[in-house]
Amino acid sequence: MMKKNENNNSAAGGAPTPAPKERPRIKPPEIRPRAPMPPSNRSAAMPAHTPRPAQQSPRAAQRPPQRPGVRPGQSFARPQSHPQHGGSNPGSSGGSREEREARREYRHGPGAPRAAGTQLQHSKMGPRPQIARDPNEKPNPDAVRLVPLGGLEEIGRNCSFLEYKNEIVIIDMGLQFPEEETPGIDYIIPNVEYLEKKKQNIAAIILTHGHYDHIGALPHVLARIGNPPIYATSITKAIIEKRADDFPNAPKMNVQLVKDGDEIKLSNNFTALFFGVPHTIPETTGVMMKTPIGNIVHFADFRLEYDDEGNVHGLEEFEKLGKMGVHTFMVDSTAAERTGHSISEKTVERNLEEIFRAAEGRIAVATFSSLITRIAEIIKIAEKIGRKVALNGYSMKTNIQIAQNLGFVKAKEGTLISVEEISKYKDDKVLILTTGAQGESNAGLMKIINGEHRHIKIKPGDTFVLSSSVIPGNERSVQTVKDNLARQGAIVYHSALVDIHSSGHAPKDDIALIIKLLKPKFLMPIHGYYFMRAANGMTARESGVAKDNVRLMDNGQIAELTKDSFKVTKETVPAYYVMVDGLGVGDVEEVVLRDRRALAAEGMLVIILTVDRDKGRLLKNPDIISRGFIYLKDNQEVLDEIRKRIRGLMTRIPNFKEVEPDYVKTLLRDQIGQYLYTKTKRRPMILPVVIEI
């Protein structure tokens, strides 16, 4: 038996509905073509019904045979036309004009046109309509194919590959954190369907640095693409090997160490020249791919380093690349909208030290656990002012341990303590390094804010420093973090108030400087939303790149590169979202997300009917359960009307007709959904349950 909801004290149970002594033969409801259902109900619709083996009830066995094509209880004068066969549909326009408008609005949404036509729109969460190659446009066998699989319509999921004949080289394999449109998803990874079919051709995966938006998808896709060799620097190698420990079923990685200046022949036609670029994690590497059509330069994520006098350092290597000739420059666009130059990391360190010295109580610094360079400097400052450093957050502890092992973080003995030891020291002798600067619900900072941390509770006068930029899309969650800290009496510093964060992504003026040094023939903005990439394209034109040589591609598009051309073809490969949810990879599709969004927005209504299998009679009042829609105790009128309509629908089924559960569910879903929308202008997900006895 199904447990009743505590909200339906009068919504469940009751006396059985008595059958009428005599009832005239009533024409059953006419089945019309299913109109497009509202988002909350369409995904809940049952699959097409497969008729059960014929089982006659005792009463049905006594009836004379029916004319083929005529239902029991249906007049022989049934109209011959049917809407599915081009005929008219009597009753489809029945009711008053207001009722017809309400039905149209319920099915298609407010303001929807009366015409039935709809336009298919591209969704990143579902398969993109594949564009067939023009019959007159044949693949160029001598071209290098460049294909972005991610990073061009979002922040994260960075991945692209180069293909020449039967050789493929992949650059990065990152993940993307979930969006508002992907509730319940852990993260999103690149779609490797095309690569999986050609895994025998993959010569290498190049990882530019150790941030998860460039390496995070590796454990999920390696087995599918044949576990090719991976080329990475020492810290990137250590991070991906540590992450692999969480995936015991993933294949053992074949990682080849590289360093700045290495030139490695990856295959017959691809050679990689590695060069260092400044970023927020050590050993970030750019790569020049030497190909049959010319040199393709991928700069990874980068910024330029300035000293206190504003002089830029490290341009010599970039000048050298420019002298070698650059066919295509793939350039980071994350900060391309911002004018000016990168903030010096020395300026950030100086401002952090001033804040730390002025703090009277505990200090908590929230930042990305992968900002190894920044974290190393914070630990040095803490040692200088006599504070112990407590590490909060699994990834923070893991990354600092890796950085210590490789010599990138050098802390004196006794400086680093566990959070359990905080109570042993005075407040003005403690600095806490924690994750969660983006307001992630499961990160260390949010546990502190929500009072869920066992060892750290916020005290009035505590100083919290948010030393990171706000990732586009996280503005609301970061604002919530600042509000909740301030409510509890904390003193909050963030990068909008003082320069306590230097972005790892070059702004417009720095990008322009690099373009002038490289002098590329073609430029392809990557790593960012379309608006960011368009801004980068404008910077390229201002820096001397011909207008027609700037290419703004989208994920999944294929470009063919020859010595003198960069042509974006009409051909595409699958690049829609592959979502990771718990242990499932790719099993959460758009229909599941639509249900989740519908439940979050409109709630659900469960209708439980107990019926006589043979007679089609209700044996008890319908049980009704509401979750996230209405509170049943306060809406008795709506509840009574739902029951009344259910009884009315059930009495329209002839008492000699065996109940078809799928038919009843569809009828309830449509009719009750229509009533609820007319009454409340809301579309809850309706889940009918028919129990046959």
Taking a C-beta distance cutoff of 8 angstroms, is the pair 480, 439 a contact? yes
Instruction: Supply the pLDDT for residue 43.
Output: 38
Instruction: Supply the pLDDT for residue 584.
Output: 52
Q: Specify the higher pLDDT residue, 63 or 621.
A: 621
Tokens at 138, concatenated: 């044949």
Average pLDDT over every residue of 273-301:
94
Instruction: Supply the pLDDT for residue 195.
Output: 95
Render the burial of 542-578: b for 16+ CB within 10 Å, e for the rest.
ebebeeebbbbbbbbbbbbbeeeebeebebbbbbbbb
Instruction: Supply the pLDDT for residue 110.
Output: 45
Instruction: Supply the pLDDT for residue 137.
Output: 67
Three-state secondary-structure class, residue 313: strand
Beta bridge partners of 493: 465
Q: Specify the higher pLDDT residue, 111 or 275.
A: 275
Instruction: Supply the pLDDT for residue 590.
Output: 60
Instruction: Supply the pLDDT for residue 586.
Output: 53
Average pLDDT over every residue of 496-507:
81
Instruction: Supply the pLDDT for residue 623.
Output: 83
Is the pLDDT at 238 greater than 80? The verdict is: yes
Average pLDDT over every residue of 20-30:
42
Average pLDDT over every residue of 434-444:
84
Is the pLDDT at 581 greater than 50? The verdict is: yes
Asked which of 84-98, 228-242, 660-674 is least confident by mean pLDDT, the reply is 84-98
Spell out the domains of the chain, with CATH numbers in brackets.
144-340+504-582 (3.60.15.10), 345-494 (3.40.50.10710), 590-693 (3.10.20.580)
Instruction: Supply the pLDDT for residue 126.
Output: 54
Show the DSSP H helices in 3-143 as ranges.
39-42, 58-61, 97-108
Instruction: Supply the pLDDT for residue 182.
Output: 61
Asked which of 70-84, 381-395, 655-669 is least confident by mean pLDDT, the reply is 70-84
Which residues, 6 or more positions from 93, have their beta carbon under 8 angstroms from its beta carbon? 100
Q: Residue 337's Cα: distance from chain center in Å? A: 23
Is the pLDDT at 161 greater than 90? The verdict is: yes
Instruction: Supply the pLDDT for residue 10.
Output: 38
Q: Residue 306's Cα: distance from chain center in Å? A: 35
Is the pLDDT at 457 greater than 50? The verdict is: yes
Q: CB 445: neighbour CB atoms within 10 A?
A: 27
Is the pLDDT at 23 greater than 50? The verdict is: no
Instruction: Supply the pLDDT for residue 116.
Output: 36
Is the pLDDT at 61 greater than 70? The verdict is: no
Instruction: Supply the pLDDT for residue 655.
Output: 67
Instruction: Supply the pLDDT for residue 53.
Output: 43
Average pLDDT over every residue of 669-677:
83
Taking a C-beta distance cutoff of 8 angstroms, is the pair 330, 300 a contact? no
Q: Residue 77's Cα: distance from chain center in Å? A: 55
Instruction: Supply the pLDDT for residue 173.
Output: 95
Beta bridge partners of 365: 433, 465
Most confident of 72-81, 198-207, 352-361: 198-207
Q: Give the C-alpha separation, 295 to 321, whole Å.
A: 9
* pLDDT digits 0-9 by tens, 244-255: 888 888 899 999
Report strand pairing: 363-366 vs 328-332. Answer: unpaired
Instruction: Supply the pLDDT for residue 140.
Output: 87
Report strand pairing: 294-298 vs 285-291. Answer: antiparallel
Report strand pairing: 430-434 vs 363-366. Answer: parallel
What does pLDDT average to over the chain? Answer: 79
Tokens at 394, concatenated: 């699994």
Average pLDDT over every residue of 532-557:
94
Instruction: Supply the pLDDT for residue 184.
Output: 63
Instruction: Supply the pLDDT for residue 648.
Output: 79
Tokens at 414, concatenated: 């006794």
Instruction: Supply the pLDDT for residue 114.
Output: 40
Is the pLDDT at 167 greater than 60? The verdict is: yes
Instruction: Supply the pLDDT for residue 80.
Output: 38
> How much of the chain, in percent, has pLDDT values that exceed 90?
43
Instruction: Supply the pLDDT for residue 239.
Output: 93
Q: Give the C-alpha separation, 372 to 356, whole Å.
A: 19
Instruction: Supply the pLDDT for residue 508.
Output: 93
Which is nearest to 585 in space by CA: 254, 196, 238? 196
Q: CA neighbours within 13 Å on the CB side: how many for 305?
A: 12
Q: How confident is the model at residue 301 (pLDDT cuts 50, 70, 90)?
A: very high
Average pLDDT over every residue of 68-96:
38
* pLDDT digits 0-9 by tens, 307-345: 877 888 889 999 999 999 999 999 999 999 999 888 888
Instruction: Supply the pLDDT for residue 348.
Output: 87
Tokens at 333, concatenated: 């666009």
Average pLDDT over every residue of 419-434:
92
Three-state secondary-structure class, residue 569: strand
Average pLDDT over every residue of 651-678:
78
Instruction: Supply the pLDDT for residue 199.
Output: 94
Catalytically active residues, by annotation: 332, 505
Render the burial of 192-228: b for 16+ CB within 10 Å, e for the rest.
bbbbeeeeebbbbbbbbbbbbbbbbbbbbbbeebebb
Is the pLDDT at 47 greater than 50? The verdict is: no
Is the pLDDT at 46 greater than 50? The verdict is: no
Q: CA neighbours within 13 Å on the CB side: how many for 594?
A: 17
Q: How confident is the model at residue 62 (pLDDT cuts 50, 70, 90)?
A: very low
